[in-house]
Amino acid sequence: MKITTRPITLTINGKKQGPLDIAEGMMMIDFLNEYVNLTGSRLGCGQGVCHACVVIEDQPDGSSHETRTCITGAHYFDGKAIRTVEGHATINDKGEEVPSPVQQAFMDHYSFQCGYCTPGFVNAATVFIEGLKRNPIARDELEEAILKAMNNHICRCTGYVRYYEAVRDLVLKTPGLIRETKNG
Amino acid sequence: MAKRRFLPALFLIVVVLLIIVAVLWWRENRSNDNPVQKVSATDEQIARGRYAARAADCAACHTVEGGGLFAGGFPMETPFGTVHGSNITPSADYGIGRWTREDFHRAVREGITPGGRHLYPAMPYNSYYMMSDQDLDDIYAYLMTRPAIDVPTPQNDLPFPFNQRFLMIGWNLLFQNKDPLPAVSSGDSELWVRGRYLTDVMGHCAECHTPRGMFGQMDLAQSLKGGTLGRFKAADITPSGLAERGWTPGDLGQFLATGTAPQGSAFSEMHMVVALSTQYLTKEDMTAMTTYLMGDKPPPPKVAQLTPGGDKGRAQYLNLCAGCHGVSGEGKPNVAPAMAGNATIRQGDATNLIASILDGLPEQAFPGNSNMQSMPGFARKLNDQQMAELVNYTRTTWGGLPGDITAAQIDALREH
C-alpha cells in the first residue's frame, strides 16, 4: 500500500511550521501530537463530539473560532494560523511561565480535576473573551452567551459549574467586555 | 340623471358586500358553545385509534417539542406565513372537547370545524378526505379519551389577506379534492391497495412530496415527484424516482421503520415522520406502503455509473468529511451515514446535499437505540468554489452524476 503525502505549512502559536510531508487524510490531532510535539490537544471521542481537541483558528480579519482537530484533516490547515493550548501562557521578565487570564481563572476556580477536557475549554473561553473584546454584550446577556460558547464542551469531572463561574467572573472583572445598559 | 341612479346602486352593492363579508367573518370567528362531549371507548378501539393516529402522523403538527401530546403549537412555515397546529386534546375551550363524531369527520375530511370555521390546508384534508369511517371513529375515540390539556393554540402569523379564513371557501372551490390522488405506481394486489391508502390518505405523503402551485395547491399531475416547501426538498418518491436513487422496496421499508438504510438516514422533517409515524406501522402495513410506492413490479434499482472525482474536491473531502464519513465514504455506524450509495448524493437536484453541507444537521436519535451525530455546517469554512468542488466530488464519486454544480449555485443557497 502506498501512502500519498502532501506538504503542509502553517503557523502554530505564532511560529511557522513546515513544510512537512504529511500523509493525505491524516487528522490534525495526530499531526499536532505526533509531528510537532504539541501534545496538549487531546484526542477524546475521535468523532467531533467532546471538543477536547479543539484549537483556535485565527482568521485574516482578526476574528477567530474553534475547530475540532479530531475530525479535520491536517491539510485543511495548510497556510492557516492556529493557536493550541500550549500558546496561551507567556514568559515574564524572570523567565517564569505566566498562565493566561483564562488559565488562571480556571485554576483559581478549581475548574478541572483530571484536566483532559481543559485544553478545549481554555480555547473555547479564549475565543469567547476575544469575541467580547471586539463586540461587547449587555450584562443581562452574559449568562446565556457563556452557555452558548461553552456548551459543546464535555467535562466528566467537575460538572461544568466551575468552568462556567470562572468564565463569568473573568468577564465581569475584565474591563470593556460588558456594554453599559439601562438595566444593568 | 344616470349618475344619480348609479350612485345608490353602487351604495347598495357596497352595503351588500360588507354584510356578506361581515357574516363570513362572524362564521369564522364565533365561539363554539356546544355541549362538552363524553366519549367512552373500549381498550381495543383506543389501541386501534392510537395506531391510526400514528399512521396519519397527527402528532407531527399537533404536538410541539416540550408540549403535551396533541396540545398543538407546532409552527409550520409556509410560503404564506406560519400556521400553528391546533390543540386536539378534549379540552372544552381550547381543544376539540365540544366536537361530536360528525364534527370530527367533517374537520378531518373537509377542513371545516363546528360552526363553519375553515381550516387552512396545512391541515391535510386534501389527503385525509378519503379516510375510512372506521379509522376516523377510532382516532376520535382515541383523542377524546386522552387527558384534556387546557392550553390555547398560538396565533397564526399570516399577513392580510391570508389571515382571513373565509378565503378558504374560494380555495376549496378551486382545489378541494373529490377523487383519490392519482396512483403513482401500477398494481392491483391487496397489499398495493392498502399501501395506496396508507401513503396517499393516512401518511399524506403527497403533501410534502408533491410540487405546489401558486396558491399552495398540490400539482397532482406530478404527484409524489418531489416537493419544495422548506429548506430541504422532499424527494421524488415515485417508483422511477426511487429506483433512480438506488432504492428497493426492502431498503425503503427499513428506512421507514428505522430511519436508516444503506441509502442514508432520515433528516429534517422526514426524521420526524419516522420518529412519530412510520416506525409504528406493522410489518404488513410497511410492506403495503413500499409495495404501493414502488409498484407490484418494482423497477430494479439503478446502478450508478461512478467516475473518480477531481483532486481538489477530494482534498476538501479528506480535510473536512472523511473524519466521520470515512476516507472511502463508508460511513461510521451511529456517527455518520455512508456516502457510497447515498440517495441524497444521487439526487440530480443538489439542493439537499448543498444545504446540509452549508448548514450542518442536528444530532438525531433513531428507533432501536441508534443515532447519528450532529454534522457541523461548513458555510464558514469553505468558499463557494471550494464547496462546489466538494459537492461535485461526491456527485461523481458516489452519485454517478455529472459534476456540474457551480459556485453560483452554492451562493444561491447560502443564508446571507
Give exposure, A150-184, as e/b (b: 16+ Cβ within 10 Å): bebbbbeebebebbbebbbebbeeeeebbeeeeee
Is A114 near chain B, with CB under 8 Å?
A: no
Condensed to tens digits (0 to 9), the pLDDT of residues B347-381 reads 999 999 999 999 999 999 999 999 999 999 999 99
Helices (H), A34-181: 101-108, 118-134, 142-150, 161-173
User: Are B215 and B283 within one domain?
Assistant: yes
Type of residue at B162: F
* C-alpha pair distances (Å), A91 with each of A81, A83, A87, A97, A99: 21, 16, 11, 5, 9
Most A CBs within 10 Å, among B312, B317, B318, B386, to test the A interface: B318
User: Are B229 and B321 within one domain?
Assistant: no
Query: What totals of helices (H) and strands (E) does chain B contain, helices first?
Result: 18, 8
Among B244, B263, B294, residue at a domain's last position: B294
Is A32 near chain B, with CB under 8 Å?
A: no
User: Does B178 fall in a domain?
Assistant: no
Cell of A12: 502554530
Instruction: For residues A85 and A12, give the distance between their C-alpha atoms in angstroms, rounded to a whole number.
Output: 11
Q: Do the Cβ atoms of B278 and B261 come closer than 8 Å?
A: no
User: Does B269 fall in a domain?
Assistant: yes
Of B318, B323, B327, nearest to A48 by CB-CB distance is B323
Residue reference for cell 501562557: A89
Condensed to tens digits (0 to 9), the pLDDT of residues A69-125 reads 999 999 999 999 999 999 999 999 999 999 999 999 999 999 999 999 999 999 999
Cβ-Cβ contacts under 8 Å, B324 against chain A: 47-48, 71
User: Does B275 fall in a domain?
Assistant: yes
User: Does B8 fall in a domain?
Assistant: no
Among B116, B142, B157, residue at a domain's last position: B157
Q: Give A 79-108 residues with CB within 8 A of chain B.
A: none
Q: Which CATH superfamily is domain A5-87 in?
A: Beta-grasp domain (3.10.20.30)
Q: Do the Cβ atoms of A111 and A166 come closer than 8 Å?
A: yes
User: Does B227 fall in a domain?
Assistant: yes
Give the count of alpha carbons within 13 A of B202, CB side only. 28
Is A25 near chain B, with CB under 8 Å?
A: yes
User: Are B71 and B145 within one domain?
Assistant: yes
> The whole model's pTM is what?
0.91
Condensed to tens digits (0 to 9), the pLDDT of residues B164-177 reads 888 899 999 999 98
User: Are B62 and B130 within one domain?
Assistant: yes
ipTM of model: 0.89
CATH number at residue B236: 1.10.760
**How do A137-138 and A97-98 pair as beta strands?**
unpaired
Is A122 near chain B, with CB under 8 Å?
A: no
Q: What is the CATH number of domain A90-179?
A: 1.10.150.120
Sketch the domain layout of chain A as residue ranges. 5-87, 90-179
Is A44 near chain B, with CB under 8 Å?
A: no
Cβ-Cβ contacts under 8 Å, A75 against chain B: 315, 318-319
Say whether B323 and A49 touch across the interface (CB within 8 A): no
User: Are B339 and B374 within one domain?
Assistant: yes
Question: What pLDDT is recorded for position A181?
Answer: 64
User: Does B3 fall in a domain?
Assistant: no
Count of CB pairs separated by less than 8 Å, A with B: 36
User: Does B302 fall in a domain?
Assistant: no
Count up the domains in chain B and report the number: 3
User: Are B117 and B74 within one domain?
Assistant: yes
Q: Do the Cβ atoms of B259 and B292 come closer than 8 Å?
A: no
User: Does B14 fall in a domain?
Assistant: no
**Residue ranges of chain B with pLDDT lower than 50?**
none
Question: What pLDDT is recorded for position B2?
Answer: 62
In A, minimum Cα distance to B327 occurs at A25
First-residue to last-residue Cα distance in chain B: 61
Condensed to tens digits (0 to 9), the pLDDT of residues B205-263 reads 999 999 999 999 999 999 999 998 789 999 999 999 999 999 999 999 999 999 999 99
User: Are B219 and B288 within one domain?
Assistant: yes
Condensed to tens digits (0 to 9), the pLDDT of residues A29-39 reads 999 999 999 99
Is B324 near chain A, with CB under 8 Å?
A: yes
* C-alpha pair distances (Å), A27 with each of A30, A72, B332: 6, 6, 16
CATH number at residue B374: 1.10.760.10
Q: Which domain holds residue B53?
A: 28-157
Is B24 near chain A, with CB under 8 Å?
A: no
